Amino acid sequence: MTQKTVPSDTHDVFNQPTPLDNYNAYSSNLILRHYQKIFGPEWGEVALHEYGHRVGHELLTAGFDANHYKPEFQSHDRFGHRIDLVKYHPAYHQLMSAAIEVGHHSLPWVEDRAGAHAVRAGIEYLHTQADPGSGCPLTMTFAAVPAIRHQANIAEEWLPKITTNQYDPRNIPFFEKQGLTIGMAMTEKQGGSDVRSNTTYAYPLASTGPGEPYELVGHKWFCSAPMCDAFLVLAHTDLGLSCFLLPRWRPDGSKNAMLIQRIKDKMGNVSNASSEVEYRGAFAWMIGEEGHGVSTILEMVSLTRFDCMVGSASIMGLAVSQALHHTGGRSVFGRNLHEQPLMQNVLADLAIEAESALAISMRLAHALDKYDEEDQLLFRIGTAIGKYWICKRAAQHTSEAMECIGGVAVVEDNVLARLYRESPINAIWEGSGNIQCLDVRRAIEKNPNVMEVFWVYPGFAKKLRY
């Protein structure tokens, strides 16, 4: 009997696109370059090209690792001492270090030349495409600066190390470190939007008032990036809700009484350790006027809302890039997917929406750069509207982009799966949709000129036309 030979190879892999990696996330993004050309200065180009290269190469890989290997919480050491330590994968530190080196957290505060906000928005846009999670402490560090400036003596000591380009992740007191990062803790269990329902209380150690030391007793329900060196915190005093800077280590070098209860197991934004904390007599300095904590911290919040907008625009930008790349490399029913009329409709809608999101974000970055009377009004109303619309749309946008790619888009080693889980988060963080609507109303009631500026400010429409 003759032996029958059976071929061992089952099939060749064909009609699958190449992965979208090893590219320059800036030079390949014509839309981002276009809006940098309109609103950004020429001097930012080199940094954006360089960072775009890093994002499209090693930081893209780091983003996958930092989300795959979740941050781990260690409450105690082996001898039973409370340590409240979060351990991150080295990829997370790589992302933080690269971003801080290029000024994601500080550029407009250290760069005298015009256009620094536009360049920084470009950097944030690029970084988000590698990992939105590490963007959270970077944003908070950036946005904390105007609030901390309210307290001259604290600002003098802290700001040089907050704005430096050196990332220092060591778990040691702030005064021994080379670089500092800042977090924020407003939200409590009983109220996130309604911060006036906060129950955390601040007791003066000696005198009361701005710059004075207090001890805080209470809890915070969301405290992202708890390894930051200090946090802007809201707490009540006898005169009402006030703003405090709460360091992780006391000025005498002892560990502050900020106890991490647990890290939240989140659906997205996984590289970012969002925690629940308790203050059991935690040391903090008052920042700004007593009883005016909300207005002090709002200066931070308007910038974090702006960053949410840029971040969601970036998520949309990456989603559409992935969809275009994939459909260009796969054929169905005799022609490439991106040549099928129905798919062209979908891709065009996605591309237009992603570009619009970026256009609005970059125009508001330009408003921050100019900051004359009209641009202040534009930023005031534009941030609330943009935060509402762009962050809300990101979820539907990424879902549609996934559908363009098909089954492979839902597999975890495809960035789309991660983008999809990330996409609703900015809409909730820093004031959800309805809160933005109420903020628009508040802005109009305070100064009706905001609407005038929004609709007819000549630079707005003209600058966006091309």
Ligand X SMILES: Cc1cc2nc3c(=O)[nH]c(=O)nc-3n(C[C@H](O)[C@H](O)[C@H](O)COP(=O)(O)OP(=O)(O)OC[C@H]3O[C@@H](n4cnc5c(N)ncnc54)[C@H](O)[C@@H]3O)c2cc1C
Contact code string over 144-183 relative to ligand X, x by CB under 6 A: ---------------------------------------x
Between 179 and 431, name the residue whose CB sits nearer to ligand X: 431
| Shortest Cβ 196–ligand X spacing (Å) | 11
- Our CB check for ligand X shows the closer of 56 and 288 to be 288
Residue with Cβ nearer ligand X (308 or 377) = 308
Contact 357, 31 (CB under 8 A): no
Tell me whether residue 223 or residue 365 sits nearer to ligand X (CB atom). 223
Q: Shortest Cβ distance from residue 394 to ligand X (Å)?
A: 14
Q: Which of 132, 192, 210, 247 binds ligand X (CB under 6 A)?
A: 192
94: three-class secondary structure by DSSP? helix
Question: In the set 434, 442, 452, 461, which binds ligand X (CB under 6 A)?
Answer: 434
Site residues (CB under 6 A) for ligand X, limited to 290-309: none
- Measured distance CA(223)–CA(186) in Å, rounded: 8
Q: Is 356 in the site for ligand X (CB under 6 A)?
A: no
Nearer to ligand X, 193 or 254 (CB): 193
DSSP 3-state assignment of 358?
helix
Q: Which of 153, 166, 193, 254 binds ligand X (CB under 6 A)?
A: 193
Residue nearer to ligand X on the CB measure, 20 or 425: 425
Q: Contact 71/273 with Cβ under 8 angstroms?
A: yes
- Which of 320, 160, 306, 294 has its CA nearest to residue 232? 294
Site for ligand X in 19-38 (CB under 6 A): none
Comparing CB distances to ligand X, the nearer of 247 and 431 is 431
Would residue 105 be called left, alpha or beta, if left means φ above 0 and alpha means ψ between -120 and 50 degrees? alpha
Check binding of 199 to ligand X (CB under 6 A). no
| Site pattern 404..433 for ligand X (x: CB under 6 A) | ---------------------x--xxxxxx
3-state helix, strand, coil in the chain (%, to 5): 55, 15, 30
Question: Should residue 187 be labelled a site residue for ligand X when binding is judged by CB under 6 A?
Answer: yes
Q: Using alpha carbons only, give the angle 145, 317, 403 rounded to the nearest 5 degrees.
A: 135
Tokens found for residue 297: 């911290």
Residue 139 binding ligand X, by CB under 6 A: no
Q: Which of 152, 130, 118 is nearest to 44 (CA)?
A: 118
In contact, 394 and 312? CB cutoff 8 Å: yes
Among 96, 100, 180, 185, binds ligand X (CB under 6 A): 185
Report 206-225 residues binding ligand X (CB under 6 A): 222-224
> Measured from the CB of residue 141, what is the shortest distance to ligand X in angstroms?
12
- The answer to whether 343 contacts ligand X (rule: CB under 6 A) is no
Which one, 338 or 392, has the nearer CB to ligand X?
392
Residues 222-251 binding ligand X (CB under 6 A) are 222-224
Distance (Å, whole) CA 382 – CA 393:
16
Is 186 an interacting residue with respect to ligand X (CB under 6 A)?
Answer: yes
d(CA 213, CA 244): 9
DSSP-derived secondary structure for 231-270: EEEEEEETTEEEEEEEESB-TTSSBPSEEEEEE---SS-T
- Longest CA–CA span in the chain (Å) reads 102
Number of residues that bind ligand X (CB under 6 A): 24
* Distance, CA of 107 to CA of 51 (rounded, Å): 14
Name the helix (H) or strand (E) containing 408.
none
Q: Using CB under 6 A, pick the residue from 129, 181, 237, 274 that binds ligand X.
A: 274
Q: What whole-number distance in Å separates Cα of residue 53 and Cα of residue 157?
A: 35
Contacts of 40 (CB under 8 A, 6+ apart): 48, 115, 118, 119, 122, 362
Q: Which residue is nearest to ligand X (CB)?
A: 192
The binding site for ligand X (CB under 6 A) comprises 183-187, 191-194, 222-224, 266, 269, 274, 425, 428-435
